[in-house]
């Protein structure tokens, strides 16, 4: 049994019951190594023709619409549903990791009775047992509802922390990595305790170092004259209206701005353009995670508003993509 | 005056005369550094809203259809026309390089009176003076017509040598690099003299080392059990019919094959799949130029036919994409 399991039987049933003959499969990078074996099993058991997507994929916002347009049905693995597609089925990945141990580690760090409970989709099925354990220890855990970009109460994405809009004074995050809890800390201004089920650790997330680093990029971009505003054509990342609004404001402030539209946003691909800084309206994680790999500063929309004098430093917000932000 | 010039006045006239308000610009990698300045000039002189394509671009086969779908008109720089698009205008790049010097260098290497004359689009406007110089030296130079993938007599692409289908015993190629003359040598089986206008050199192209290297990849792939057949969704590279035909033949020979569909084909992106070799039906240059960067052998369709026993070693042909090969 691997750490993640997919429900292939239900896929086979869907294909057989609808008699689909042409099937697309899309996997995010972490699951691509399973692609050939899954394709072989589905082909053997259904007789359908299968095409695997070879394109990079980093989220449910990143549907291979070209492949989906060439097959009767496409199965997208590893993410919960986002967006409206006629023939895309989302096959979520559920982690088998035990989450209760790290919650026990987190207990001494929890200071208030009412907690906002947040996690990523691969642990979402464990929230019931987590809530029970917390209740036994005197805590009330509340998973917030979130907007239409997320599928489950308590689910956060790298670009969406709306499930953290609950009445509480601190948050408990279950999952690996610091991006999501950091995002919640900045988006809400409240204390976040991150519990990692893989390392069985728990700690309070600090966002001061992060904000210092971002302030450095903002300050450096202040000297810029030419800005490239990046717009992604990916299914769940296209914020062209936001880009146009930023371009309009920037021109009033006598900045030279250019809209650059692309699919995958990479530091390599943006080396070629002669600009002083980029503003990224595509995936907000790129702005943060890849910041050091760009040859010029790359800013969030909110950071760019500070640069051009339309927002105060104290009003710096986390960049999120909300349910009505995406151009479809 | 830079080495390459674009006719911006004609672009401005087109925009003004049709009163276009939304404009897309697409540049191949070598010209992307000019993008911001060209966008600024067009914006200043026409008042239109301009969006630059940030996607990688390596040929006229590689139209940014997503961007073209979002603007009234898109100007694609650096290549001659390929394919049918309602709102894409091709702005060719013409090199100012003097070509006569390298032709003079080539004269002693020419052994027959009747020559096939071939070049790439950036020198195509020089074929008149080249023909004249050759005639003065007793040679008859014939630029062949080529199929619909090329725009001019004598024009060759990395994937199309149909302009070399002329009645002659040897070829004179004008341009830099060895890919195109090598392609013509292998596609025609005849002697090719390559004259380089940048280096002012001329030499006879030898394809023996190249064929030895390809034989090595074919031999290595003979042991493979699982093959990934790559299909590109790029506008001028989609050979899905060929891929399906190869998959059908391979299955008869009890090989496990999987179709992998993608936009940009890169060694990095194909690391993830567990296959023993790839067969590339996308851009033929990738198979040759990037061969050493793939973790497993990557074969042309003709090489794969040798591997599965459907073609003899002696019948190895250069992979070309012809006018009717592309699925639109």
| Cα→Cα distances B37→A260, B25, B212, Å | 13, 12, 46
Instruction: Write down which residue in B170, B185, B206 finishes a domain.
Output: B206
* Residue A28 contacts residue A57 (beta carbons within 8 Å): yes
Q: Is residue B182 part of a domain?
A: yes
Q: What confidence tens digit (pLDDT) does each residue in A207-244 have? A: 888 999 999 999 999 999 999 999 999 999 999 999 99
Kind and range of the H or E element at A208? helix A208-221
Q: Which pLDDT belongs to residue B1?
A: 40
Please report whether residue B178 resides in a domain.
Answer: yes
B245 band by pLDDT with thresholds 50, 70 and 90: very high
The answer to the question of residue B164 being in a domain is: yes
Residue B49: give the domain boundaries: 4-93
Disruptive mutation site among B25, B47, B54 for chain A (greatest number of A CBs within 10 Å):
B54
What is the DSSP secondary structure assignment for residue A38, as one 8-state letter?
Answer: H
CA distance linking residue B289 with residue B116, whole number of Å: 25
Residue pair B85/B121 in contact by the 8 Å Cβ criterion: no
Radius of gyration of chain A (CA): 21
For residues B160 and B255, state if they share a domain: no
Strand A170-174's sheet: what is its strand order?
Answer: A140-142, A114-119, A170-174, A191-196, A201-204
Residue A206 pLDDT: 87
DSSP secondary structure string for all residues of B114-158: EEEEEE-GGGGGGHHHHHHHHHHTT-EEE-----TT-SSTTB-BT
Say how many C-beta atoms besides its own lie within 10 A of residue A273's C-beta. 23
With beta carbons less than 8 A apart as the criterion, state whether A75 and A8 touch.
Answer: no
Mean per-residue pLDDT of chain B: 95
Classify A222 as helix, strand or coil: coil
Q: Is the same domain home to A109 and A89? A: no
Q: Could you give the CA distance from residue B318 to residue A4 in angstroms, rounded to a whole number?
A: 44
Q: Report residue A58's pLDDT band, with 50, 70 and 90 as the boundaries.
A: very high
- Is it the case that residue A325 has pLDDT exceeding 90? yes
DSSP single-letter state for residue B92 = -
Residue A3: predicted pLDDT:
67
Using a pLDDT cut of 70, give the percent of chain A over it.
99
A193 and A173 in contact (C-beta within 8 Å)?
A: yes
- Interface confidence: ipTM more than 0.85: yes
Tell me, what CATH number does A265's domain have?
3.40.50.11860
Q: Is the dihedral of CA A307, A312, A313, A318 positive or negative?
A: negative
Q: H helices within B171-300, ranges in order?
A: 179-188, 208-221, 240-252, 267-270, 284-289
- The model's pLDDT over A77-94, given as tens digits with 9 standing for 90+, comes to 999 999 999 999 999 988
- DSSP 3-state of B1: coil
Interchain contact A22–B (C-beta under 8 A): no
Question: What predicted TM-score, i.e. pTM, was given to this entire model?
Answer: 0.94
Put simply, the answer to whether A53 touches B261 (Cβ < 8 Å) is yes
**What integer pLDDT is reported at residue A2 of this predicted model?**
57
Judge if B113 and B191 occupy the same domain.
Answer: yes
Element at A267 (helix H, strand E): helix A267-270
> Are residues A220 and A168 part of one domain?
no
Mean pLDDT of chain A: 95
Domain's final residue, options A35, A60, A93: A93
What does the alpha-carbon distance between residue A142 and residue B263 come to, in Å, rounded to a whole number? 43
Strand A170-174 with A114-119, pairing:
parallel
B258 has a chain A CB within 8 A of its CB: yes
Rounded Cα distance between B197 and A185, Å, is 61
In this prediction, residues A128-154 reach a mean pLDDT of 97
Asked if residue B65 belongs to a domain, the reply is yes
Judge: B259–A228 Cβ closer than 8 Å, yes or no: no
How far is B318 from B321, CA to CA, in rounded Å? 10
Within a domain: A327: no
CA atoms of B69 and B83, how far apart (whole Å): 15
Helix (H, G, I), strand (E, B) or coil at B203: strand
Same-domain status, A83 and A115: no
Chain A residues lying within 8 Å of B70, measured CB to CB: 240, 261
State the average pLDDT over residues B280-286. 97
Cα–Cα distance measured from residue A237 to residue A159, given in angstroms and rounded to the nearest whole number: 10
CB pair distance less than 8 Å for B269 and A66: no
Which residue in A54, A57, A254, A282 has the most chain B C-beta atoms within 10 A of its own C-beta, making it the best mutation to test that interface? A54
User: Hey, is the C-beta of A263 within 8 angstroms of any chain B C-beta?
Assistant: yes
Q: Identify whether residues B104 and B200 lie together within a single domain.
A: yes
Residue A301: pLDDT band (50, 70, 90) is: very high
Q: Which of B169, B116, B110, B118 has the alpha carbon at shortest distance from B137?
A: B110
Beta carbon pairs, A and B, within 8 Å: 115
DSSP code, position A33 = G
Q: Tell me the residue length of chain A.
A: 328
Q: Which residues of B37-55 are buried (b: 16+ CB within 10 A; e: fewer)?
A: ebbeebeeebebbbbbbbb
For residue B191, what is the DSSP state?
A: E
First to last CA, chain B: 39
Residue A328 lies in a domain: no
**Whole-angstrom Cα distance, residue B17 to residue B10?**
10
Please give the Cα distance from B4 to B12 (Å, whole number).
18
CA distance B109 to A205: 73
Reported as a single tens digit per residue, the pLDDT across B166-206 is 999 999 999 998 889 999 998 899 999 999 999 999 999 98
Our count of domains for chain A comes to 3
B117 shares a domain with B199: yes
Q: Angle, nearest 10°, between helix axes A179-188 and A208-221? A: 80
Q: Cα separation of A232 and A171, whole Å?
A: 32
pLDDT tier, B2 (very low <50, low <70, confident <90, very high otherwise): low
Q: What is the pLDDT of residue B297?
A: 98
A323 assigned to some structural domain: no
Collapse the DSSP code of A85 into the 3-class scheme (helix H, G, I; strand E, B; otherwise coil) and give the result. Answer: coil
Is B327 part of any domain? no
Same domain, A46 and A130: no
Does residue A272 sit at the B interface (CB-CB below 8 Å)?
Answer: yes
- A67 lies within 8 A of chain B by CB: yes
Using a CB-CB cut-off of 8 Å, the residues of chain A touching B53 are 260-262
Q: What is the CATH number of the domain that holds A58?
A: 3.40.50.11840
């Amino acid at each position: 049994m691997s750490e993640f399991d997919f429900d292939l039987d239900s896929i086979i049933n869907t294909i057989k019951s609808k008699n689909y003959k042409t099937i697309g499969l899309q996997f995010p990078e972490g699951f691509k190594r399973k692609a050939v074996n899954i394709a072989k099993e589905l082909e053997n058991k259904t007789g359908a023709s299968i095409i695997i997507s070879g394109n990079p994929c980093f989220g449910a916002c990143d549907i291979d619409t070209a492949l989906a347009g060439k097959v009767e049905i496409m199965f997208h693995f590893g993410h919960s549903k986002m967006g409206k597609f006629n023939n895309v089925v989302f096959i979520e990945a559920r982690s088998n990791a035990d989450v209760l141990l790290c919650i026990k580690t987190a207990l001494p760090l929890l200071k208030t009775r009412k907690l906002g409970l947040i996690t990523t989709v691969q642990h979402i099925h464990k929230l019931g047992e987590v809530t029970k354990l917390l209740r036994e220890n005197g805590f009330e855990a509340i998973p917030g509802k979130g907007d239409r970009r997320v599928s489950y109460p308590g689910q956060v994405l790298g670009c969406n922390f709306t499930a953290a809009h609950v009445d509480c004074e601190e948050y408990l995050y279950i999952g690996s990595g610091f991006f999501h809890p950091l995002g919640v800390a900045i988006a809400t201004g409240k204390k976040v305790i991150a519990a990692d089920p893989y390392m069985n650790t728990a700690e309070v997330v600090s966002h001061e170092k992060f904000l210092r680093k971002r302030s450095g990029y903002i300050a450096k971009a202040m000297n810029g004259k030419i800005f490239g505003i990046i717009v992604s054509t990916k299914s769940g990342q296209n914020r062209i209206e936001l880009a146009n609004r930023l371009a309009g404001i920037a021109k009033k402030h006598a900045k030279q701005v250019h809209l650059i539209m692309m699919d995958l946003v990479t530091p390599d691909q943006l080396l070629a353009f002669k600009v002083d800084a980029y503003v990224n309206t595509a995936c907000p994680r790129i702005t943060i995670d890849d910041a050091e790999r760009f040859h010029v500063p790359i800013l969030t929309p909110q950071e760019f508003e500070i640069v051009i004098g339309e927002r105060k430093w104290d009003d710096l917000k986390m960049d999120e993509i909300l349910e009505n932000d995406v151009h479809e």
